[in-house]
Structure 1
Amino acid sequence: MDGTSHAEQMNPAVAKPGPHAGIGFREFVGIVASMMAMVALAIDTMLPALPAIGTSLGIVQENERQLIVTAFLLGLGSAQLIYGPLSDRFGRRPLLLFGTGAYVLFSIGVALAPSFGVLLAFRLLQGMSVAATRVVTISVVRDCYGGRQMARVMSLAFMVFLAIPVMAPSIGQFFLLFLPWRGLFWVLAAYGLFVLTWLTTRLPETLHPEYRRPVDVASIFSAIRRSLTARQAVGYMLAQTVISGALYGFINSVQQIFADAFHAPRLMPLVFAAIAGMMALASLINSRIVEKLGTRRVSHSALLGFVAIELGHFLIAWTGHETLLSFALFQATAMFCFGLSMANFGAMAMEPLAEVAGTAASVQGFVTTVGGALLGFGIGQSFDGTSLPMTAGFAVAGVVGLGIVFATEGGRLFHPRMGS
């Protein structure tokens, strides 16, 4: 690298003097990944702590503990509608700094929460604050890259992002050895402060000046309308939503599955790490092959594999032959397919919307996160002491997602829709 930022290489008009000059490719990917990791850490580090939180705050029904995850996801999804249009007007950097700073404060609020209701309120606010990093980060990448290059950057960042779930439950379990569950949220606050410092000192403004849009109702609705009428964007957004719902159902259910179905709660962090590790491996592989093979060929093949694997897993669970080993193997291979498909779905959903990237990322983030959270909550609430409801949710999500992709591409896979 020659030392110039990618924003500057792609558009010299955004070049800035001072401490933001000189950010290279690796640091760019690192910053993107660090912001994306804030979401994963806020969800996965506390999975081992859910029983302790329930006992401490008097949660009688075990399934109610899933609200700790769902409240965060609902905040994460809903606030994205706000950050996108604001970032299209005022730039990416101010919104990222605000959201990261608020995340630090609300993480402390969760740590100090005196009751379950207050904890859920702060979890909602925590999700709303970190939504800035979720939606604006995608806009930053889209500002600087497009097409297969964007998919490669997203895959590399996604690989680091997915490495966090590999370690997060183990990290949470480690801290629980010598800290109460509230200490986990102090750790999240400390990580947020680290990211805030990095953003403050190193990230340039990436929004192209000609793409700045006024904050007015007509402009916002015009951008939203475009985001919701572009066939490719809508199709892959909906496919992401249903597949994400399966993932959130897994996250909601996994601690109870290991504790109640397999009677092996201490193995949960290890098996969770192996399953999440397959997603990270898939993202690494995708970053190496997507520019050569194309986003459709890779993601469509992976989606077909996901459907076949989860239908098989459902049959195993339905016939009563599920074991801890079969659960781990089926979920690991399914998550490998998930990792190959989701980054590419995201890139294809954003590809037609460069001029309204901020608002488009907001709309897509809102739909995929809120829709996925509600689907995942439904899957989680159907937990009956076995893995059957979760495997059924995965199988249905895969079939529906495949149908959406098939319709989006005009009845064909692996190649763009005719006439597009």
Structure 2
Amino acid sequence: MTPKNTLKAVITATSLGLVATSAMAESINIGFTGPLSGGAALYGENTLSGLRMAAEEINAAGGFDLNGEQVTINLVALDDRYSPAQAATNAKRLKQDNGVSAIFVPHSGGVFALQDFNEKDDFLVMAYTSVPTVTEKGNTLTLRIPPTFDGYVRAFTDYAMNNLGTTLGMAGATHEYAKIWDEMIQQTWEARGGTVVADNPMDYNKSADFYTGVSRVIAENPDVMFVGGASEPTGLVIQQARQLGFQGGFIVMDQAKIDEVAQVAGGMDMVEGAVGVVPLSVYETEAATGFIERYQANYGKVPGSEAAYNYLALHALVEAMDMTESTDPTTVRAAIGEALLSMDSSKNPYEVHSVTENGGFVTVTTLAVVENGEIVRKEIE
């Protein structure tokens, strides 16, 4: 076992319940830092569940061969409460104490914080964020897992202005990712000839009472409200907007998923007229439906895109390690595209088959709208 491969022997089951196939099996540590407490805890747990499921499948199959040794995956997860500073601290700990070669992080603030030192410290940032600049900064050890949101901004704006109205009230969140969305959607909305009548961002992670902030937005009588953070607080914002009498439509930031939002808000009728990303539950491909069935059997609920994207990303990461017989971050990063093509299709619910030169997984952009109480998938022209 060489230092280059940063292998760490583990002979007991991990605290996350990942079962080794042999008492003598070795494992490599993969890191995660994300919100596991606070207002975004559900979002963090959903992300982590996809990684857990992938790791359990890999280990149940006997792991994979690395330099002639059979190894399994040991997932080490730390709570950062959505704090970029804590994410950076966690990453330092994961690298120093656990020798990880890759760290999954599901928020842009955390991604940017890790990018300040990941090349020097030699680990891959597995970024679950759709902020375009994540892969435009030239960081050679970053992989962006979901598609960038600039395509969503244009598509959501065009649909809303053509079908819901031309005045927009901003009621988004205050974390870094939401601020970027806020700025971009305001610019796009006004460039299309619409009017932004209110802008009142709120802290989705620390509050459950949004009545005051929402009332300030709907007092300006917008046709459409922009909302979005994690699904759970987004559902509360929409619920409280309806309770205060708002009858317009919603543009839902891609971090929130319409089906999950509807459950919190009180039903699909509460999100009538919403436009957002297509929930995984709407996909009908064999890979997607198979993943949903397996996930439901494990966790008793329908998975969201956080689980599915991170599930396929860990499988691709391990496939790249298997192909190259290395955990060296640079070597693995270079092999990800080939790994996506060669991995078992059942492990790829979003059918991602390529990666851009700057490290972005390539996924077809679509949108979903709620019409007559049902989520309907629309193609983006």
**Length-normalised TM-score, structure 2:** 0.31
Structure number with the bigger relative contact order (C-alpha 8 A, sep ≥ 6) is 1
Flag the structure with higher strand content. 2
Flag the structure with higher helix content. 1
